[in-house]
Amino acid sequence: MTSTQRLPILRRDGSGFVPGVDDFANEAYVALTTEAGHEVSVLATPHDLREFAIGHALSEGWWSGEGPLPLVEVEHHEDGYALRMSGASSWGPLRESRLIQPSCGGCGDAMASPPLGVRFAGQSALDSARLRSILREMKALQPMFEKTGGVHAAMLVSHDGHHVLREDIGRHTAVDKVIGAWLVDHDQQRPAALLLSGRCGWDLMAKAVRTGIQQVACVGAMSGQAAQLARKHGILVMGFAAGEHPQFVGPWPSAATKS
């Protein structure tokens, strides 16, 4: 299955409806399991699946991030994809199996504060003006959004300008993919900030906590629960970050950083 497909549609003009075609983002059933017994099913855009598996394992606390990257076997079946992970130095506690839909990364979760991860910890904050500039340029790096208008994007950036971006029909799945992609491509380097093309809810902030990401900027709003979780763990968050009047949560170091 490809990431997009062209389907027939109707468009309206001044005289009525006319037939045409348009591009749509695909979503597929993806089952992810580990040798330790973790299990989850997601609806996701069917690309970068190895990166999704690695990122999900870290961002959901299945794997601590210690040692080499887990191995991922990908099988394509008639009804979707099966991913199986093995080889982690240690696996975290098991959680209930569940189906995650594209719009709902935390379905079924109790919003208890997750443990603070360390894999991406230790980086100082990026200047807010720089974050705003990167977010405004981010859309030009989203080919699937340009084609379909129907996907989200997540980007990790470092102080020296390295960046990794991934797209997916699900907000949370895009974050998992970009985390996994960073680990695959820049494993010896740590990102400074996570950038989101939409809003930031509790589920995405929990992923930042579990991975040790200490700065988040989002084009849209943050939820109240996301803001509270960020304050508890000292994460710097910039909401409405591409606009002229962003909002700030967290221990921003100086007024100059907010300029």
- Kindly list the catalytic residues: 104
Q: Are 145 and 151 in contact (CB under 8 A)?
A: yes
Cα separation, 100 vs 169, whole angstroms: 12
The torsion region of residue 131 among left (phi > 0), alpha (psi -120 to 50) and beta comes to alpha
Q: How many CB atoms lie within 10 A of CB 226?
A: 26
| Residue type at 23 in one-letter notation | D
Residues whose CB falls within 8 Å of the CB of residue 37, separated by 6 or more in sequence, listed in order? 94
Q: Find out whether 211 and 204 touch, Cβ atoms under 8 Å.
A: no
Identify residue 5 by its one-letter amino acid code.
Answer: Q
Q: Please give, one letter per residue, the 3-state secondary structure of 164-209.
A: EEEEECCHHHHHHHHHHHHHHHCCCCCCCEEEECCCECHHHHHHHH
